[in-house]
Structure 1
Amino acid sequence: MSAFRSLDKVLDLAVIGCFILMILTVCLQVFARYALPWSPPWTEELARFAFIYMVSLGTGLAIKDRSYVNVDILLQSLGERKRVILDSFILMLIILLMGLMLWYSIPLIRIVQLQQSASLKINMALIYLSMFFMALLVILYAYLELIKNVNHIRNSR
């Protein structure tokens, strides 16, 4: 599990870095709009790309920490064992949906690999690659949570 702790730390740093980059870029854009006679055209695009990667890399961590938005009224009304079983079913659905996203992101990345972003001239495949990374990370962390649930069910018998 130490490899996953290292991955957690790398993802934490990447998400924080993307957040700081996004905030600094937006601040530069606001400052330039009001204080300078011109504003850099690339700031909006860079902020958007930083936001995309911040969300994509942070989604796996949200699965691990269970810090995503959910409605748990039904889960609270169930007993411990049924709650873990329902949670496991939800995790399997998440893995299935992210598997579809992973599968369909590959042809999409191939389609856009010849395109460049308007201002920064970044290959758009690098931006669309965020979908692939997000799906991969969510599958990984949902699978790890599913293993925890299965072990919890086995140990509670």
Structure 2
Amino acid sequence: MRIYVTLMDKINAVVTALVAALLCIVSLAVMTQVMVRFVLTALGLNISAPWTEELARYTLIWMVFLGAAVGVRHARMIALEFGVRKLPAHTGVPIRYAVMILCISFFGLLFSTGVDFIELGKSETSPVLGITKDKVYWAMPVSMVLMILNSLALIAETWIEGRDIRFASDFAPED
């Protein structure tokens, strides 16, 4: 199990670097849009760059889904944990594991839904970039697989290290 956890951490390092690159692309696309709309227009140049909006939107979708997948690894998703943290360990820990299993099931459902979207997206084309939207819709199933794998890694890590899963976010490495 330790090999699995280590492998997932290496995969997450690559995904985190990819998310950083996507953030750069989003920033450049939005900055270009601002320059074209406001700065160049103020200088009397009426140029249009509609591709920047689509590029930023589609890149942001991938960035958010992949970033959320990495966030699952160390229980950094938004959650109301105060109740389960206040319970005694013999009650709170099984509840937290049950919640993890429910989350994994939900990620599986979203994976299935994402696959359906991909089929739909093969027949849709983005208006400006001209790409089929299945390339955007792939973000959902890819990220759901990563979320499932990261949930399992979180469970495995708490078992291996004998830590209380209710406090998993407290032990997450600092970025």
Q: Fold conserved (TM > 0.5)?
A: yes
**Unmatched tracts of structure 2, length 5 or more:** 41-45, 164-175
2:63 aligns with: 54
In structure 2, what is the equivalent of residue 93 of structure 1? 102
Q: Quick one: which of 4, 8, 12 aligns to 2:12?
A: 8
- Residue among 30, 48, 51 paired with 1:26: 30
TM-score (norm 2): 0.80
Judge conservation of contact 2:8–2:150 (CA < 8 Å) in 1.
no
Aligned AA (1:79): P
Q: Give, in angstroms, the shift of residue 74 of structure 1.
A: 0.1
For 1:90, give the aligned amino acid: V
Aligned residues: 153
Q: Which amino acid aligns with 1:8?
A: N
Q: CA deviation at 1:24?
A: 1.2
Q: Is the 8 A contact 1:45 1:120 kept in 2?
A: yes
**Superposed CA offset, 1:16-73 (max 9, x none):** 1111111111111111111122230011111111110001111121111222111222
Q: What percentage of aligned pairs have identical amino acids?
A: 24
**Gap regions ≥5 residues in structure 1:** none
Distance verdict in 2 for CA 1:80–1:33, change over 3 Å: same
* TM-score, scaled to structure 1: 0.89
Aligned residue for 1:120, secondary structure, equals coil
In 1, Cα distance between equivalents of 2:90 and 2:60: 38
Q: CA deviation at 1:142?
A: 0.9
Matches within 5 A, 1:84-123: 84-123=93-132
Are 1:145 and 2:154 an aligned pair?
Answer: yes
Residue 131 of structure 1 aligns with an amino acid whose one-letter code is M
Deviations, residues 75-116 of structure 1 (Å, cap 9, x unaligned):
221123433222211111111111111122222211221221
Contact 1:59 1:137 in 2 (8 A): no
Distance 1:4 1:72 in 2: 24
State how far apart, in whole Å, the 1-side matches of 2:76 and 2:135 are. Answer: 27
Which residues of 2 match residues 54-73 of structure 1 at below 5 A?
54-73=63-82
Runs of 4+ in 1 over 3 A off after TM superposition: 148-153
